[in-house]
Structure 1
Amino acid sequence: MAEEKRVNLKAKKFEAYIQKNNMNFFNKNEVHDEADTVVFQSNIKVEGQTIPMGIITDNTIYTIIRVQVGSQLVKDSNKAKFLEYLNTLNRSYKVFKYVAADDGSIFLDCCLPSTNDSFDPEIVRVVLDVVVDHLNSEYKNIMKEAWE
C-alpha cells in the first residue's frame, strides 16, 4: 500500500490568504517533518531594527507566531533581573509569552489552537498586528532591561 501524502491544510489556507491580500513579504519554508510543518518567515520593523518572525503551521492543533526579539540578551550578569522582568510581561499579556532560549536569545511566542476546519488566517493576522503594536511600545524597554 502506497504511503498517503499528507497535506498541511492550515498552511494551504494561510498561503491562499496571503496571496489574496497581497502579503508578499512572507517566504514559505516546508520543513518535511512528521508534523508536515510549514513556516512562513518574514521580518518585523521595530524601533529601527529588523527582527525575524515566523508563522509555524503543522498538522497539530497549534499554530505558533514566533518573533526573535534578540540574540544572547540573557547573560549571567542580568539573568535573574531580566527573567523576572520577562515574567512580569508574561503575566500582563494573555495572547503571547516571552521565552528565553538556552543561548540567551529571547523569543515572543503566540500559540493559536485550531483544527484544520476552524483555522482562520485572519485571526493569525490580527494577533500578528497585536504583537507588532506591543513590540513597538515595549521593545525599547526590553532592550534597556537586557543591557542594564
Structure 2
Amino acid sequence: MNNMADMFATYLEFKHIEGFSREDLLDQRQSVVFRTNVVLKGMAVPVGVIIDNSPYVMVRANIATQAITDENAFAVSNLLMRRNYQNRLFKYYLTPDASVILDVCIPYQKGHFSAELVYNIVQLMVKEIMEQYKEFVSVIWLTD
C-alpha cells in the first residue's frame, strides 16, 4: 500500500481534477504512476507523477522520442543546456534511446507529504511544456 499515492488520488478527487489515470506497478518500491497528457497542436506529451516508498516524488514528461539525429544533435544538446541553465526547478535530459525528458524531483519528509504541492508542480510543468514546446519542435524536427 502506498499512502502518498492514496493521498494524491484523494486530493485529485476532492478538487475534481480529471484526466489522470492511476497505475499501481506492484514492484518492490510500491510505485504508483499517475498518467496524463498535455495536448499541443494535436500532439500529446505524456506526463507522469511517480510516487513510491522513497522520500521523493518524480514528475516526468516525455517531450520527444528518438529526438537526436546527426543533423540536430548539436542544436538539441545546446537547447537542453540552455533550458537547464535558465531553470532551477526542471531538468531536461536525453535517455539512451534519444528521448528528451523533462523531470522534477520533489523531496519530502516522512509524514509531510503534500499532494497540493505535487499538483502545483504538475501545473508548473504543464506551463513549462506549453511555453517551450514550439522551440523543441523546431530544433528537433528542424522546422521554422
Judge same fold: TM > 0.5, yes or no: yes
Residue 97 of structure 2 is aligned to residue 103 of structure 1: yes
Measure, in 2, the Cα distance between the counterparts of 1:31 and 1:24. 21
Residue identity opposite 1:26 in structure 2: F
Measure, in 1, the Cα distance between the counterparts of 2:133 and 2:113. 29
For the 8 Å contact 1:47–1:136, the answer to whether it is kept is: no
Residue 10 of structure 2 is aligned to residue 16 of structure 1: yes
- Structure of greater Rg: 1
Q: What is the Cα deviation at residue 16 of structure 1?
A: 0.7
Cα offsets for 1:47-90 (capped at 9, x unmatched) = 44221111000000110111111111112322122112111101
For the 8 Å contact 1:9–1:116, the answer to whether it is kept is: no
Equivalent residue pairs, number: 142
Aligned to 1:69: 63
> What are the within-5 Å matches in structure 2 for residues 1-148 of structure 1?
7-148=1-142
For the 8 Å contact 1:31–1:37, the answer to whether it is kept is: yes
Measure, in 1, the Cα distance between the counterparts of 2:63 and 2:76. 14
Over aligned residues, Cα RMSD in angstroms?
1.3
Gaps of 5+ in 1: 1-6
Q: What is the Cα deviation at residue 119 of structure 1?
A: 1.1
Measure, in 2, the Cα distance between the counterparts of 1:126 and 1:101. 26
